[in-house]
Amino acid sequence: MKSSTTERKHLWQAAIKWPLYSVAIMPVIVSAGWELGNSGNIRLGQFIGFLIASILILLWENLTNDLFDDETGVDKYKFHSVVALTGNKTTVSRVAYFSLLLGLFIIFILALKSKITVLFLVIICCFLGYLYQGPPFRLGYKGLGEPLCWIAFGPLATAAALIVISPKSNFDAIPWGTALIVGAGPAMATTLVLFCSHFHQINQDAAVGKKSPLVVLGTNRAANFLPWLVGLIFLLELLPVLNGIWPITTLMCLISLPSGLDLIKLIKRHHNKPELIKNSKFSALRFQTINGLCLSIGFATSYFFL
Over residues 210-258, the pLDDT tens digits come to 888 888 888 899 999 999 999 999 999 999 999 999 999 999 999 999 9
What is the pTM for the complete model shown?
0.91
Q: 10, 77, 50: which is closest to 163 by C-alpha?
A: 50
Taking a C-beta distance cutoff of 8 angstroms, is the pair 67, 93 a contact?
Answer: yes
pLDDT at 2: 44
39-83 per-position pLDDT tens digit: 888 999 999 999 999 999 999 998 888 787 777 765 554 545 676
- For residues 86 and 56, is the Cβ–Cβ distance under 8 A? no
CA 114 from chain centre, in angstroms, equals 24
Decide: 171 and 116 in contact? Cβ < 8 Å: no
Region 268-277: mean pLDDT is: 86
Q: What is the pLDDT of residues 100-155, one digit of tens each?
A: 999 999 999 999 999 999 999 999 999 999 999 888 898 988 889 999 999 999 99
**C-beta atoms surrounding 79 within 10 Å:** 13
One-character DSSP codes across 156-196: IHHHHHHHHH-TT---SS--HHHHHHHHHHHHHHHHHHHHH
Asked if residue 19 lies in contact with residue 279, where contact means CB atoms within 8 angstroms, the answer is no
- Tell me the pLDDT of the chain averaged across its residues: 87
Measured CA to CA, the distance from residue 190 to residue 289 in angstroms comes to 9
CA-nearest of 279, 247, 248 to 263 is 279
DSSP class of 154: I
Specify whether the CB–CB gap between 25 and 57 falls below 8 A: no
Residue 151 to residue 126: CA distance in whole angstroms: 11
Percentage of residues in the chain having pLDDT higher than 90: 59
Rounded Cα gap, residues 200 and 197, in angstroms: 7
